[in-house]
A = this chain, B = another copy of it.
Amino acid sequence: MAAQTGTVQRILDTAEVLFAEKGFAETSLRAITSKAGVNLAAVNYHFGSKEALIQAVFERFLTPFCTALDARMDELAEADEAPGLDRLLALVSGLALTSQAKETHRIALFFRLCGLAYTQAQGHLRRYLREQYGAVFKRFLRVLNAAAPDVPPMELFWRIHFGLGAAVFALSSMDSLRAICKSDFGVELGVADVNQRLLPFIVGGIRSGDAAS
């Protein structure tokens, strides 16, 4: 309960980078501990197991983000103004950008990890995330539903996940895409620039299918 010796933090910092780089199964505890400069046994001592380490990495990202999002939604519930779809998405995007991130690079890590959480096996992770943060996500989805009353709930459900996919995928491989963008167009974009393009895309996609239905 005393001040961290730094070992725990060094493990988390290193693990989050290596996990994002190579995935969970492909990253060994030996790779983490040797790069972090701590003993191999430290992981099992402080976290108990590799699975627990993975969950701890996500907790450090998601808990501040979700509590902030929850607070914002409290404010929104009291205000009389209707939030508006684009404003809502900009809000969650802004939260992701500010809730953590001394360096902008960290936000890419965050989304890359989210993408991995969906695509990698890691059944324990999905279970953990649903139990831990599922309520906040469902609440946000309800708020979105209220913000777009013309879109049927089920349609919105699918479009939100399409948009989530676009965000996760684009931001998780953002480094590669930015490199291609620079080499093909000679333009170097920052994380904020990518977001500025991503958000209208999602809003446009969600507002699209009115003709089809």
What residues make up the interface of A, taking CB atoms closer than 8 Å to B?
A: 21-23, 25-26, 115-116, 118-121, 153-155, 157-159, 161-170, 172-173, 177, 180-181, 184-185, 187, 194, 196-198, 200-209, 211-212
How long is the Cα–Cα vector from A99 to B163 in the complex, in angstroms? Answer: 27
| B119 and A194 contacting across the interface, CB-CB below 8 Å | no
Residue pair A187, B121 in contact (C-beta under 8 Å): no
Known: A153-B185, A159-B201, A181-B158. A121 touches B22 (CB 8 A): yes
Q: Which residues of B contact A211 (CB under 8 A)?
A: 200
Q: Please tell me how many copies of the chain the complex holds.
A: 2
Q: Is the CB of A208 within 8 A of B203?
A: yes
B209-A208 in contact (CB<8A): no
Other-chain residue from B22, B159, B164 in contact with A169 (beta carbon distance below 8 A): B164
Residue pair A165, B161 in contact (C-beta under 8 Å): no
Closest beta carbon of chain B to A71's beta carbon, Å: 26
Q: Whole-angstrom distance from the CB of A172 to the nearest CB of chain B?
A: 7
Q: Which of B23, B166, B194, B196 contacts A163 (CB 8 A)?
A: B166
Which B residues are in CB contact (< 8 Å) with A167?
Answer: 165
Q: Given the complex, which residues of B lie within 8 Å of A168, measured CB to CB? A: 165, 169
Q: Which residues of B contact A119 (CB under 8 A)?
A: 23, 115-116, 119-120, 172-173
Residues in B whose Cβ lies below 8 Å from that of A120: 23, 26, 119-120
Interfacial chain B residues near A161, Cβ < 8 Å: 169-170, 177
Q: Is there contact, CB below 8 Å, between B181 and A157?
A: yes
Given A162-B170, A165-B167, A201-B205, 13 more contacts at CB 8 Å?
A: A25-B25, A25-B26, A26-B121, A118-B169, A118-B173, A119-B172, A119-B173, A157-B180, A162-B202, A163-B201, A200-B209, A201-B209, A202-B205
In angstroms, Cα B186 to Cα A165, docked, is 23
Q: Smallest distance from the beta carbon of A175 to chain B beta carbons, Å?
A: 12
A74, chain B: closest CB distance, angstroms: 24
What is the bound-complex CA distance between A9 and B107, given in angstroms? 43
